Amino acid sequence: MQTNLRGKDLISTQDWSKEELDTLFDVAFDLKRKRALNQPHAYLRDKVLAMLFFYSSTRTRASFESGMAQLGGHAQFIESRTTQISHGDTAKEIGEILGRYTDGLAIRKSDWGEEGQKYLREVAEASRVPVLNMQCDYYHPFQILADMMTIMEKKGDPRGLTINVSYAYASSYLKPMSVPQSLILLMTRYGMNVRLTRPPEFKLMPDIVEQAKENAKKSRGSFEILDDFDAGMKGADVVYAKSWGCMLTTEDNDEAFEIGKKYTDWITDEKRMATASDGAIYMHCLPADRNIEVTDGVIDGEQSVVYDEAENRLHAQKAAMALTMA
């Protein structure tokens, strides 16, 4: 267990050692137990978290805000359009100034490109308090920490389990790549057999794929890339199939939607789930395009753990805040 995490940013899980991540999970399960038992756990009394959103959210906002209240502190919801950022407040100024008012800065800036990632790093450089990544263009670390908690709860030790991180078709909008990228980065740290299943146009960032391969080598897990939706499902213990945009193939949104239409049959349905391992679980970070990415029968079915997964956002985030902002 690592006891010196005060002030540490959490922008990517790659920035935390395995022992630090293990500490976070340990604290998260403890906080979950305490909430279930209605035991007070106000570890952040009088502390303030600024939550700066450049993009909409249901789960992330609600879980961070509830988490801070349960820890005895306060969360400020700041919608970027209501600030002076568009009139000139720089990343450095946001880090310097909000860092002096608060005890932690959480930021969501998830448009396509490098901008979100760079912005978080610039704010962190200037800030005297920890910066927590509520999703950028590269990473969604708190989603994936909650996902790992859920796998541990439902399946036990993740070592040796096979997870299929798969593309699925969606028509609603071009979803970011941050979830599959963070999934392959964290699940390979824990000795899982990670399958990345995607059509050829839906590649993830090469540098992140390389890091996942390295992680798998170190953890004695495995990492493979498939381009056949059905092959990815076969024998998987964890099915995590969701959409993302093919932004590395084209930056033209119309073209990206057209390419996606070639893969409308990449939908998780009961027939596909039946080919996964006995006791396989279905995961999705939500929101999902129902009956396009996944059938109602699967997402509402017995194998689905999506609501426990969403709940675990609360516990994982409280652990990170309690460890870094105390």
Contacts with ligand CP: how many residues (CB under 6 A)?
A: 8
Of the candidate residues 127, 143, 150, 304, the single one contacting ligand CP (CB under 6 A): 143
> Which one, 59 or 318, has the nearer CB to ligand CP?
59
Of the candidate residues 17, 58, 172, 291, the single one contacting ligand CP (CB under 6 A): 58
Question: Does the protein bind ligand CP through residue 60 (CB under 6 A)?
Answer: yes
Query: Is the Cβ–Cβ distance between 163 and 236 less than 8 Å?
Result: yes
> Which one, 201 or 308, has the nearer CB to ligand CP?
308
Question: Does the protein bind ligand CP through residue 57 (CB under 6 A)?
Answer: yes
Of the candidate residues 27, 107, 259, 285, the single one contacting ligand CP (CB under 6 A): 285
Q: Which of residues 77-136 bind ligand CP (CB under 6 A)?
A: 135
Of the candidate residues 48, 174, 286, 292, the single one contacting ligand CP (CB under 6 A): 286
Question: Does the protein bind ligand CP through residue 59 (CB under 6 A)?
Answer: yes
Shortest distance, position 165 Cβ to ligand CP, whole Å: 15
Residues that bind ligand CP (CB under 6 A): 57-60, 135, 143, 285-286
